[in-house]
Amino acid sequence: MASVNTLCKSVPNVKNTVIKNCNLYSDKNGVKHIRIQARPNKWHENDCPFCHKSCPVYDKHSSRPTIWRGLDWGGILVEVEYQTHRLICPEHGVYVAEVPWAYPCSRFTKDFDLTAAWFASYLPRSTTSYFMRVDWETVGRCVNRALHDLQPERSRRLDGLVNIGIDETSYKKGHKYITVIVNHDTNTVVWASEGHGKSVLEKFYKQLTPEQLSSIKVVTGDGAKWITECVNEYTPGCARCVDPFHVVEWAMTALDEVRKDIWHDAYSEYKQVKKDNPRGKGRPKKDAPGLAIVKAAKAKADEIKGSAYALGKAPEHLSEKQQLRVNLIASQNPRLYRAYLLKEQLRLLLKLTNVDEAEDELKRWLWKASHSRIPAFKELYQKIRRHKTHILNTIRYGMSNARIEATNNKIKLIIRKAYGFRNIQNMLDMVYLVCSDIRIPLPNRKLNAA
C-alpha cells in the first residue's frame, strides 16, 4: 500500500523534490485543500531559474512561505508550500531560487500552467478560468509561460524559410490589425505583430539574418504596395506572387461598379417614365397605356439590381434561373455583359498552369480591357499591368494565399472564443500556440494521445 508521502510526492509530478509534510484543511467557504510542504533536494536548492546553474545565496529565507496552486485532486484544491530564498546569478542577477515544480515567477505548478494552456486553446477563456478556478487574466499568463517553456527560442521559426505568405487581419473594431506571416511549407505562423504597413513588416525583415533572408524564395500576399516595397528592398532575389483570389476580387469590384452605374441609369429612366405617365387618382386599369411602360422600366432596373450574385458566380455553377438572367443581360445590356466576360476571362487565365500560355492570354486580356471603353476596367487594366510579373509568378510557382487566409480564420476563431483580448500580447501568444505544430503535454499522459 502506498504511503501518504509517496502519494504527495506524485502531485508536483517532478523529480528532485522532497516532501516534508502534508495537511488537509477546509477554508471559510468549505472548500477542501491539501497543502503539501515540499522543498528541492540539496543539489538543486540554489539553482538559477533561468540558466539552472548553482549560484551563491543572496539573502536568507523569506519571512513567509510561498504557496503554489497545483491541479485539483478529485475536486480538492492542491497547494505546494515552500519557504523560498533569493540568490545572485552572475548572468541574470538577483532572483528567487528555482523550484522544480513551477516556472520562474509563477505561483502555479508546471502541470497547472500547461493544462490551463491546453484548455485555453480549445475552450473560451471564461470557461477555462471557471474550471481552473483562476482569474480570467491569469489564463493569459499561464499560456505565456507554457509557450515559453515549449518553445523558448521562438526565433527558430524563422530558420529555413523558403515560401512565406504575408497578410493582415483585423482583431478588433476601429481598424485594429495584426500582421501575420505564415510558412507555406509547414502551414504555421512564424511571426505576428500588432499593426500593419511597411513599418511593421520591416520589423520582421530586420530581425532576419543574411542567411535567413537568402533562403526566402517566394513571397505571397495581396497587391499591397508596402509588401512589394519590403520584398524588393530586403529580398530582391525572391519571387513576389499576388494571390489569385485578390486578383479576381479586383475584377469583381470593377464589374460591380459597372453594374451599379447601369442600374442608376435604368432607375433614373424608370423615374422619368413614371413621371411622364402619372397613374392619376384611384387604382389604374390593367390595360392603361402608361402602366405597361412603367412596369417594363421598373422590371429592367430590378433585373440589373438583382443580378449581382449571378454575375459573380462561375458559369458552370449557375442555376437555370441565374443563367436566364445572364442571358437577358447579354441581350439587353451589352456593356455590362462585356464587363462580365472580361471578369470571366481573367478568372480562367489564372487557372492556367503553363506560364507562356498564361502570358499570352494576359496580354490579350490587357488589350481588351484597355480598349473596352469601360472606365472601371481601364482602371483595372492599370492595376493588372503593374502586377503582371507578380501574377505570372503566381502561375509559375503555383502559390496562393489560401493557407494564410485559413490561418486568419483560425485567428478570428481564437478571438471569438475569448470574446476579445484586452492584452495584445496574450492574443499573439495564443496565435503562436494554436497556429503551429506545438503539442501541449498533459500530465500522466502520452504526448501522442488524443
pLDDT tens, residue by residue, 347-372: 999 998 899 999 999 999 999 999 98
Q: For residue range 11-21, what is the model confidence (pLDDT) as tens digits?
A: 777 777 888 88
The per-residue pLDDT for 58 is 85
Beta bridge pairs of residue 17? 40
Q: pLDDT of 374-397, one tens digit each?
A: 999 999 999 999 999 999 999 998
Question: How many Å apart are CA 303 and CA 297, to the nearest integer?
Answer: 10
Given a contact cutoff of 8 angstroms between Cβ atoms, the answer to whether 178 and 192 are in contact is yes
235 vs 6, residue with greater confidence: 235
State residue 56 phi and psi, 5-degree precision. Answer: -70, 150
Amino acid at 384: I
Q: C-alpha distances in angstroms, 138 versus 229, 294, 416?
A: 41, 67, 19
433614373: which residue's cell? 268
Cβ-Cβ contacts under 8 Å for 51 (sequence gap 6 or more): 89, 91, 92
User: How far apart, in whole angstroms, are the C-alpha atoms of residue 445 and residue 6?
Assistant: 19
pTM over 0.85: no
d(Cα 407, Cα 411) in Å, to the nearest integer? Answer: 6
Report the distance separating Cα 108 and Cα 129, nearest Å. 14
Mean pLDDT of the residues in the chain: 86
Long-range CB pairs of 116-119 (<8 Å, 24+ gap) are 116/142, 116/143, 116/146, 117/142, 117/143, 117/146, 117/147, 117/433, 117/440, 118/440, 118/442
pLDDT mean over 57-67:
81
Spacing of C-alpha 12 from chain mean position = 35
Task: Please check the confidence at residue 449 and state whether its pLDDT lies above 50.
Answer: no
Alpha-carbon dihedral sign for residues 184, 190, 194, 200: negative
Q: Which residue's C-alpha cell is 502586377?
A: 387
Domain ranges across the chain:
4-107, 244-278+292-397
Query: Which amino acid is present at 229?
Result: E
Q: What is the pLDDT of residue 309?
A: 86
Residue 440 and residue 114 in contact, taking contact as beta carbons nearer than 8 Å: yes
In order of 13, 152, 154, 433, the CA distances from 147 in angstroms are: 19, 7, 9, 7
As given in the structure block, the three cell numbers for residue 148 are 515559453
Burial of 91 (0-12, 13-18, 19+ CB in 10 A): exposed
pLDDT tens, 329-349?
A: 888 888 889 999 999 999 999
